[in-house]
Amino acid sequence: MNNHLQSLFTCTQERWQPTIGDPHFMGWVTVAGYGVAALAALTALRHARTQRLPRAEILFWYLLCPALLMLMINKQLDIQTLFTTVARCEAQLSGWYANRRPIQIAFILGLMLLSIALLGLFSYRLRHSLNRLWPVLIGTITLLTFVLVRAVGFHHVDILIGTQLAGWRLNWIIELGGITLVIMGCIYYNRKN
């Protein structure tokens, strides 16, 4: 076991180095977007606490604020690439790399089901507040699904989200769209209460 872990560590170290994940203009725009979304969520948290809104709403905001900050930090640290590299090294060391496609597909489907389940759980727990929270919930689930699918490192998905539409890469549209939904949802939430 120790030799396997050492081999896994060596393989990962050879293939992944900490660098700025997306040093381009749109990468920094996305980082700023996550920062604005985190501040908007913090404002919504303060509003929910001041208005003495249901505990489930307050808990939602307590979870969302640090999640957005982590996504902001991850955008440039590219931690999901480390995860992908560790998984790829494990697959190669364990001998199932050639048969990875079904596992990747199952993982992506599992992530999608998890996202749907999370949306359902949050929707149920926040059912009395959905009229105020629905844009934030949709934006949050969009972002979580996007980040988790990117973490899988499925080549065909990377090609798809790298596709350009009118000069915009699909991954920018999805990620910035989710961030925008969160920000606009926070503004809507604060005005609705």
Encode pLDDT of 138-164 as tens digits. 999 889 878 777 766 555 666 666 677
Reported in sequence order, the residue ranges of 30-189 that DSSP labels E, i.e. its strands, are 164-165, 168-169
Contact assessment for residue 185 and residue 37, using Cβ atoms and an 8 Å cutoff = no
Q: Where are the domains of the chain?
A: 22-191
**74 falls in which pLDDT band (50, 70, 90)?**
confident
Please indicate whether residue 106 or residue 162 has the higher confidence score (pLDDT): 106
Q: What amino acid is encoded at 41 in this protein? A: A
The whole-number average pLDDT for the span 25-47 is 95
pLDDT at 9: 86
What average pLDDT does the chain have?
Answer: 85
> Closest Cα to residue 185, out of 147, 150, 141?
141
Q: What is the mean pLDDT of residues 123-139?
A: 88
pLDDT tens digit sequence for 41-67: 999 999 999 998 889 899 999 999 999
Mean pLDDT calculated for residue range 119-145: 86
Confidence of residue 106 (pLDDT cuts 50, 70, 90): confident
Rounded Cα gap, residues 84 and 105, in angstroms: 14
Q: Once rounded to an integer, what is the mean pLDDT over residues 82-104?
A: 86
| Plot region of 168 (φ>0 → left; ψ -120 to 50 → alpha; else → beta) | beta
Smallest Cα–Cα separation from 185: which of 144, 130, 147? Answer: 130
Is 21 strand, coil or helix?
A: coil
Task: Give the pLDDT of residue 43.
Answer: 96
